Amino acid sequence: METSKPAMLELQGIHKSFGSVDVLKGISAQIAKGELLTFVGPSGCGKTTLLRIVGGFTSATSGRVILDGEDISNLPPNMRNTKMVFQSYALFPHMTVAKNVGFGLKLQKWPQKKIETRVEELLALVHLEGLGHRSIDRLSGGQQQRVALARALALEPKVLLLDEPLSNLDANLRVVMREEIRNIQERLQVTTIFVTHDQYEAMSISDRLLVLHQGVIQQIGSPVDIYERPANEFIAGFVGYVNFLEGQVDSVQNGCDSVWISTEFGRVELDHHQKDIAKGDNVLMVIRPETVTLSPWNGDESQNSFHGTVQSQMYAGNLAKYTVKFGQKEMVIDHYNPMGSRKYGKSEKVKVTIPRNVHVLKRKTD
């Protein structure tokens, strides 16, 4: 799904090989003005390579990079109007904070007074007021991250490129800096590509995620699209836990908007919101643990319910987690906010009810 805003950046059929290894196999995407798009995927899937191609630090084997309507594929990094913050920050350790932040402005021959004013403005933006005279080696990791961000923003690039900007920070600081980067990005409306291998970080900071795996885009979409409407099995398992349940479509009732699926444990009726699903299809239901309801076993066969036995249970206050076994299959069920409600013990017989709005993946027939 592409956004309706005009594209600030467009990637057209990007391929990249290192020797005989095809790392990127035809990446096409549009990034809207003011959008924060995350490249996310497992280690080694090509995120940094793709970001470096956008920034001009690596050349694509084929394909084009279009920035604000202009083909920049063959321009060097300093001619691109993009700015990259490297994972290592790449700050100049022998210079002060102010000199680092004002470095690009000096290269552009800005007058000294104007540089000072702009640097002050940028330091305020990243909450480093008063630290301009500090040397880089006397800053914490989080402060260095802020300097790198301020330096990248100094010349108002059209696209900001951030490669794993939070990976050197401890867990608490990661969350603080993530929110700050998002705040600054939204305030300045700067089009941004953020690279991370952390799915949760990607979900929480992005307008949209571009999920890379095996050299291709598995899905581009909002956090809601990725979680609630995954395009395939890889994406379904990419964020959060998922119970997969195989079945076959028995019938599709367009009139009452229902689809019936038979499974080895019984029949389920789902909302028919996916028009690509037809009678006879082999499907995989994507059942999130927190969407399933658990109730006492009563032996009645009711709609979308299966009877099973609690295999294990864990109580963590805000969450009760159960593993329920049916035949050879296990299903993980998360019951949030279990305070005051019925708890189930190991070996207890229970009824598990699947919601009607389960997302369904069509299995490929080869």
Ligand X SMILES: Nc1ncnc2c1ncn2[C@@H]1O[C@H](COP(=O)(O)OP(=O)(O)OP(=O)(O)O)[C@@H](O)[C@H]1O
Q: Which stretch binds Mg ion (CB under 5 A): 47-55, 101-109, 184-192, 249-257?
A: 47-55
The reply to whether 151 sits near ligand X by the rule CB under 6 A is no
Q: Which stretch binds ligand X (CB under 6 A): 44-52, 181-189, 214-222, 274-282?
A: 44-52
The reply to whether 46 sits near ligand X by the rule CB under 6 A is yes
Q: Which does 315 bind (CB under 5 to 8 A by kind): ligand X, Mg ion, none?
A: none
Instruction: State which of residues 30, 49, 145, 304 lies at the interface with ligand X (CB under 6 A).
Output: 49
Nearest distance in Å: CB 63, Mg ion: 19
Q: Which does 159 bind (CB under 5 to 8 A by kind): Mg ion, ligand X, none?
A: none
Nearest distance in Å: CB 86, Mg ion: 10
Instruction: State which of residues 3, 17, 48, 143 lies at the interface with ligand X (CB under 6 A).
Output: 48
CB 92 within 8 A of CB 147: no
The backbone torsions φ and ψ at residue 190, rounded to the nearest 5 degrees and listed phi first, read: -90, 130
Instruction: State which of residues 17, 48, 204, 274 lies at the interface with Mg ion (CB under 5 A).
Output: 48
Q: How many residues bind ligand X (CB under 6 A)?
A: 10
CA dist., res. 266 & res. 326, Å (int): 11
Q: Which does 18 bind (CB under 5 to 8 A by kind): Mg ion, ligand X, none?
A: ligand X
User: Can you give the chain as a three-state secondary structure string?
Assistant: CCCCCCEEEEEEEEEEEECCEEEEEEEEEEEECCCEEEEECCCCCCHHHHHHHHHCCCCCCEEEEEECCEECCCCCHHHCCEEEECCCCCCCCCCEHHHHHCHHHHHCCCCHHHHHHHHHHHHHHCCCCCCCCCEHHHCCHHHHHHHHHHHHHCCCCCEEEEECCCCCCCHHHHHHHHHHHHHHHHHHCCEEEEEECCHHHHHHHCCEEEEEECCEEEEEECHHHHHHCCCCHHHHCCCCCCEEEEEEEEEEECCCCEEEEEECCEEEEEECCCCCCCCCCEEEEEECHHHCEEEECCCCCCCCEEEEEEEEEEECCCEEEEEEEECCEEEEEEEECCCCCCCCCCCCEEEEECCCCCEEEECCCC
The reply to whether 44 sits near ligand X by the rule CB under 6 A is yes
Taking the least distance from each CB to Mg ion, the nearer of 213 and 362 is: 213
Over the window 14 to 33, marking each residue x when it contacts ligand X by CB under 6 A and - when it does not, the resulting string is ----x----x----------
The reply to whether 92 sits near ligand X by the rule CB under 6 A is no
Q: Which does 85 bind (CB under 5 to 8 A by kind): ligand X, Mg ion, none?
A: none
The reply to whether 243 sits near ligand X by the rule CB under 6 A is no
Nearest distance in Å: CB 231, ligand X: 19
The reply to whether 167 sits near Mg ion by the rule CB under 5 A is no
Nearest distance in Å: CB 47, Mg ion: 5
Minimal CA–CA distance to 309: which of 293, 330, 288, 286? Answer: 330
Q: Which does 197 bind (CB under 5 to 8 A by kind): Mg ion, ligand X, none?
A: ligand X
Q: Which does 44 bind (CB under 5 to 8 A by kind): ligand X, Mg ion, none?
A: ligand X
Instruction: State which of residues 11, 29, 40, 45 lies at the interface with ligand X (CB under 6 A).
Output: 45
The footprint of ligand X (CB under 6 A) covers 18, 23, 43-49, 197
List of residues contacting Mg ion (CB under 5 A): 48
